[in-house]
Structure 1
Amino acid sequence: MQKADIPEVLRLMEAIVVFEGDTDFSLTENDLLKRGFGDRPEFGAIVAQGEKNQLIGIAVHYNIPFMHNHNPSLMLKWLYVDTNHRGKSVGRKLLSGLAQYALKHGYKKFNWFVLGSNVDAQKFYQSIGANPDNKWIRWTITPHNMAQLSRE
């Protein structure tokens, strides 16, 4: 990802958030510039470019800087390919780019979450040799429950 890619990265980020069924998308180009560049970027992205400099896919990732083994952990936040470019190996190429990034920077693996209802994505991930991690279950607490907990 380069700074010039930010408008297109933002467009694709919003598309995946909408695909996931969320309506609360408030990121701006300035947010991405501030958080994606500088001395300590908070996220990065592998991008796939189509014709006319339009991005057709993104693999957005972030780093968990410290784990139990003193190594950082790489997380794939979003993998998204424009609907009219699916089935053309764009997702595979994006994950290949992320794998190259991970190996270059010393990560032993990278992880991600998949919507339980996104069977096509699960089949795709299995086709590249990935496996679900049945050891962990994602948990969430809502603002209402956070407020209640904070009063205890």
Structure 2
Amino acid sequence: MIRTATPADVPAIHAMVRELADYEKALDEANATEEQLREALFGERPAAYAHIAVSDEDGEVVGFALWFLNFSTWRGVHGIYLEDLYVRPERRGGGHGKALLTELARICTERGYGRLEWSVLDWNAPSIAFYESLGARPQEEWTVYRLTDGALEELAGK
């Protein structure tokens, strides 16, 4: 079962964000607090949205998708950028990841959004195979750039 996240889900989402960061070998970079996630998802001006995968068998939260809107100047419409998709390792293979992506695809088509996109680490072969099995294709002509920490502050003149 897939449902929209509620404030009561924030502790589970936070725990899974940390599990994902550990899997991606970047736990030391995952500094977001539960309060920051709560504000981002449920504050006065939400910056992101989340859906939860719940086990049909025991009602346990087993995964999540956290996303936000982007905008394509070429298409003239919004799209969804999927920041995180995570299903707990012991629950993988049960269709939860596909169900989460299916829900986001449904939102895109229902609202007239033109794209559903995300990033995946080059070494994450199981995820790449899963995404490609759904029809997703890598955008190999694009390279992601990022400014953080000191470089971001330096460019900002601080």
For the superposition of Structure 1 and Structure 2, which TM-score range results when normalised by the shorter chain? 0.7 to 0.9
Residue aligning to 1:34? 39
**Distance in 1 between residues matched to 2:117 and 2:77, nearest whole Å:** 14
**Distance in 2 between residues matched to 1:8 and 1:150, nearest whole Å:** 35
Amino acid at match of 1:108: G
Change (3 A) 1:99 1:143: same
- TM-score w.r.t. the length of structure 2 is 0.84
**Distance in 2 between residues matched to 1:6 and 1:108, nearest whole Å:** 29
Q: Residue 139 of structure 1: which of 131, 138, 145 is its match?
A: 145
**Distance in 1 between residues matched to 2:153 and 2:12, nearest whole Å:** 36
For structure 2, the residue ranges without an aligned partner over 5 or more in a row are: none
**Distance in 1 between residues matched to 2:42 and 2:153, nearest whole Å:** 33
How far the C-alpha of 1:40 sits from its partner, in A, is 3.1
Residues 48-101 of structure 1, C-alpha deviations (whole Å, 9 max, x = no match):
012554310111111125635432231011111100001111111111111112
- TM-score w.r.t. the length of structure 1 is 0.87
Q: Residue 11 of structure 1: which of 11, 15, 24 is its match?
A: 15
For structure 1, the residue ranges without an aligned partner over 5 or more in a row are: none
The share of aligned pairs that are identical, in percent, is 28
**Distance in 2 between residues matched to 1:68 and 1:6, nearest whole Å:** 35
Q: Quote the RMSD (CA, aligned, Å).
A: 2.1
